[in-house]
Structure 1
Amino acid sequence: MVKRGSANKSKWLIPLLGIPLVMSACGNNSGETPSSTNSGGNTTEKTKITYMQWGTQEEINQTKELLKQFNAKYPDIEVEVTSKDWETYWTAITAQAAAKTLPDVFKMDEAYLDKYAKLGAMKDLTSQMTDNAFDASQFEPNVLKKLQSGGKQYALPRDANTIIMYYNRGIFADAKTNPSGVKPPVGEMTWDEFIKLAQKMTVDKSGKTADEAGFNKKNIVQWGLVMDAALSADSVLESQLWSNGAKLVNDDQSFAMESPEAMEVLNTFSSYITELYAVPNYGQSQTLSKDPFLSLSTGKVAISFGGSWNATEYKQAGIDFETLLPPKFKEEKTVVQVTGNAISPTTKKEKAAWTLVDWMSGADGQIALAKQGQSIPANKKAAEAFLAQDDGYNKQVFIDSQKYAIPVPFFDGKEKLLWEIIPQKLSNPMSGKGDIEKAVQDIKKAYGK
């Protein structure tokens, strides 16, 4: 998707700009600058650190609740929390890094980690992980790798939201919306199997399905599958390239989408729109929902890709849904969008900052996050707490999908390729309005590597 970053990536509410939310919270920080409080005549030394994140009011409240639990274990740190919206956040990080006024700890998205690592805006945590016996085995290797640059760890995982698939149980259960009586999809089907099912769930006004003679492609009232590979290049297209043995970019950052395996994926996905009529074209998809990940909520879509965060929105919309792993070409591959916490390289409160970051990524902090139910914990030890909450659908998919995450960290410039160049150059050709091979060459030229 074009926008990323919070548990609810599809919309951004009014932010809290620079409003401090002071909480008590951390550990043994002898030698660090203390502040003193006095209660009943006793003086207790505390270390005050700052923490900044992007997000909504709901997400700020969740951080406050997490810090209450952090404070119960580490009562000797005061954490001042500030928040900004997604766009403003990165402008602030850039300015603060230049002025050397970064908060002690701040939230970092994988998409920008390489950029800010090269700017020297984050402390290399590799040696601290060794010195503090940080247990890296708590995380899937590809999750940790998402927060590395040049082989060095610059942030520790906070959450690992995943891209999966959803289907509408109600549509499959109703003979009017499922005239062929097909069973719902299951995880790890091949694309050939999956698209045949999607055709049977694509219905025109007269009740005919897309695989039947006489189907009216100009009067479709229900779509079997919504998938915008161009608009969702980061969350759908790249993983499916990997599934077919292809890549978007090579390890040296050079463009790699010209391979026969990559072209097979693009042409296959285009055929679902232009020949099989099981997937809407760009314009039709936008008519359903500006965000294709929310199309299931229209009641006119049987199956769609979606983020783990969409489960909350679908529940609020009253959609009876189920989750599953995406289909595959050759191997199961998924996308995990990792956010983490970084430490300022100029902090004077290094011990306290590390304690906060370590706790938020460790079992205690991750279990507390899992119990909130809004984000997918990155720590394996927190999975049990997350799964223990029965929300009426298969949450195990979110945990399983981390095992299949493609090992492709962002680098500076890749976000433009995924969020601007590919959507602009590929959307129309994938819908049959233009040549795909030429579009790939145009993408390569615009990317410049």
Structure 2
Amino acid sequence: MKTIKLLTGLTSVAVLGSLVLTACGKTETATTTTPAPTTATTTPKETAKAEEEISGKIVYSQWGTNVETEQTKTLLKEFNKKYPKIDVEVVSKDWGTYWTSLTAQAASKDLPDVYKISFAYVDKYAKLGAMKDLTDIIKTNNFNTGDFEPGVLATHQVGGKQYSLPRDANTIVTYYNKALFTDPKKNPAGAPMPKGEMTWDQVLDIAKKLTLDNKGKNASEAGFDDKNIVQWGLTVDAAGSADSVLEPQIISNGGKIVNDDQTLALESPEAKQVLEFYRDLVTKYHVTPSSSQSQSLSKDPFLTLTTGKVAMSFAGSWSAAEFKKANIQFDTFLPPKFKDTKTVVQVAGNALSPYTKNEKAAWALLSWLAGPEGQIALAKQGQSIPANKQAAQTYLGIDDGYNKQTFIESQKYAIPVPFFDGKDKLLWDIIPQKLAQPLSGKGDIDATLKEIKTLYGK
């Protein structure tokens, strides 16, 4: 599964985004730059007047559906209340066409004034020279980057420089089916509902009690028939979700998928321990379906909860809409941890063209979209998890019947691991194809890792 591809317009809670184009060269470790406050030299009245005087026509480009395009146009009506003389033309394309077009526009130096960018492409387009370095503009305008969690902000940096600003921050968490926990027939052992930060030992204990065979015995009982399982305690497609589940989980255990020099790190003891644990969930504890069994439940491993036969599952924040549609009574908790809680926050952002002929208007739009006003307006639409912490309470104030606080809290545990040329193929093609069977108990993990290393070529 290529998670970001699922996130096309999905930078909404219908939601965020994995890709096919990537960058060249070595990615340096990102560091968050927070500009120091400057002393105000103008009054609010003078500032408002200056804002009203910024004028001109600019182009904003994004990927997304027709619905998402209309949502953006509605959002920009709020922008025009503050900047009435800026005319913003919205250009929207489907996910695949968007990146093909953007690459061509970068080559011809004819980019939109402001455009939407996925965290997975920041490195690529920054190195193509398609994104203006915002570091000095942020300082000059005293834009408060402290309103973002460091890990969220870092996903839009290259070499410590800020090349784009976050728009929304959809994340990977764990969900559970509340109806299975409250039904004595589905939960005869009385396993407690998961919540907050939990270790894998705690989650495994719950999963055993919620995994039932056709006679009603659970996986922790003697006589449990693992050949006739009718209810699963947990689904984890670690191979198929290498970018969104496997990588943060290995980091949780103190390991990495790739080293800082971009070489493969899957053969480290910390990484192998995680791989062996996920295999044991299938073959030893029998609480998680094999890759083929998971596919029979749902083609999308993040949506197995919709079957009503799964108690807990990793899924994206956008998956909530699908669970609602399936009439599943669900709630959320942070991903289980080995040593430290870690998750992926897939941060869409906005970039500024280095070729814009109206930088004042373009910066006004970009900074408004990332700032408190734009982020609060975005949160009110209910389409996205705002990246700016100032908008969190507005987002949480919309009652959707489950614990959305988990999405906000999980941003603190984002892994600041950049994408680079070749990593997309490793995470979206090589690992899913090669590790799925070994993690289901069919094939040798060590031999597979050697094959992966050869295919990866680093």
Q: TM-score, normalised by structure 1?
A: 0.91
> Residue 165 of structure 1: which of 158, 174, 177 is its match?
174
Query: In structure 2, which of residues 229, 232, 236 is the aligned counterpart of residue 223 of structure 1?
Result: 232
Distance 1:442 1:165, change over 3 A: same
Indicate the residue corresponding to 2:453 in structure 1.
444
CA contact (8 A) 1:146 1:410 kept: no
CA contact (8 A) 2:16 2:170 kept: no
Q: Secondary structure at the match of 1:331?
A: coil
State how far apart, in whole Å, the 1-side matches of 2:134 and 2:346 are. Answer: 20
Partner of 2:321: 312
| Contact persistence 1:158–1:338 (CA under 8 A) | yes
Q: State the alpha-carbon separation in 2 of the partners of residues 10 and 367 from structure 1.
A: 18
Aligned ranges 1:47-446 → 2 under 5 Å: 47-446=56-455
Determine if contact 2:16/2:168 at 8 Å carries over to the other structure: no
The CA distance in 2 between the partners of 1:10 and 1:64, in whole Å, is: 19
Provide Cα deviations, 1:299-356, integer angstroms capped at 9, x if missing partner. 1111101111111221222111011111111111111110100111111111111111
How has the CA–CA distance of structure 1 residues 225 and 211 changed in structure 2, closer, same or farther, with 3 Å as cutoff?
Answer: same
Shift of 1:209: 1.1
**CA-atom RMSD in angstroms:** 1.6
Distance 1:59 1:443 in 2: 38
CA distance in 2, matches of 1:100, 1:351: 19
Higher RCO (CA 8 Å, separation ≥ 6 residues): 2
Could you tell me which amino acid in structure 2 is paired with residue 181 of structure 1? G
In structure 1, the gaps of 5 or more residues are: 12-25, 31-45
Q: What is the Cα deviation at residue 187 of structure 1?
A: 2.4
Distance 1:442 1:378 in 2: 39
Note if contact 1:158-1:339 (Cα within 8 Å) is conserved in structure 2: yes
The amino acid across from 1:314 in the alignment is F
CA contact (8 A) 2:15 2:383 kept: no
Q: 1:173-208 deviations in whole A, cap 9, x for unaligned? A: 111111212111122211112112101111111111
- SS of alignment partner, residue 301 of structure 1: coil
- Does the Cα contact within 8 Å between 1:29 and 1:47 map onto a contact in 2? no
Q: In 1, are the aligned partners of 2:335 and 2:343 still within 8 Å (CA)?
A: yes
3-state SS of 2:166 partner: strand
Q: Distance in 2 between matches of 1:273 and 1:367?
A: 43
Report % sequence identity: 63
Distance 1:10 1:28 in 2: 33
1:38 alignment counterpart: none
- Alignment CA distance shift 1:29-1:409 (3 Å): farther
For the 8 Å contact 2:15–2:170, the answer to whether it is kept is no
Distance 1:58 1:205 in 2: 44
1-side partners of 2:251 and 2:53: how far apart? 46
Conservation of the 8 A alpha-carbon contact between 1:113 and 1:411: no
Separation in structure 1 between the aligned mates of residue 318 and residue 121 of structure 2, nearest angstrom: 20
What CA deviation, in whole Å up to 9, does each residue of 1:233-283 have, x standing for no partner? 111111111111111112222221211011000001110011111001110
1:29: how far off?
A: 6.5
Q: State the Cα deviation string for residues 116-173 of structure 1 (Å, max 9, x = none).
A: 1111111111111111111110001111110111221111000000110110111111
Q: CA deviation at 1:423?
A: 0.5
Q: Write the deviation string for residues 383-413 of structure 1: whole angstroms up to 9, x where unpaired.
A: 1111111211111111110111111122222
Say if 1:10 and 1:291, in contact at 8 Å, map to a contact too: no
What amino acid does structure 1 have at the position aligned with 2:347?
A: V
CA–CA distance in structure 2, aligned partners of residues 334 and 167 of structure 1: 17
The Cα of 1:115 is off from its aligned counterpart by 1.0
CA distance in 2, matches of 1:87, 1:214: 51
Which residue does the alignment assign to 1:34? Answer: none
Secondary structure of the residue that 1:228 maps to in structure 2?
Answer: coil
What amino acid is the match of 1:294? L
**SS of structure 2 residue aligned to 1:318:** coil
Query: 1-side partners of 2:363 and 2:69: how far apart?
Result: 21
Q: Are the equivalent residues in 1 in contact too, given 2:208–2:233 (CA < 8 A)?
A: yes
The 1-side partners of 2:187 and 2:454 are apart by 45
Q: Tell me, what secondary structure is at the counterpart of 1:249? A: coil
SS at match of 1:225: coil
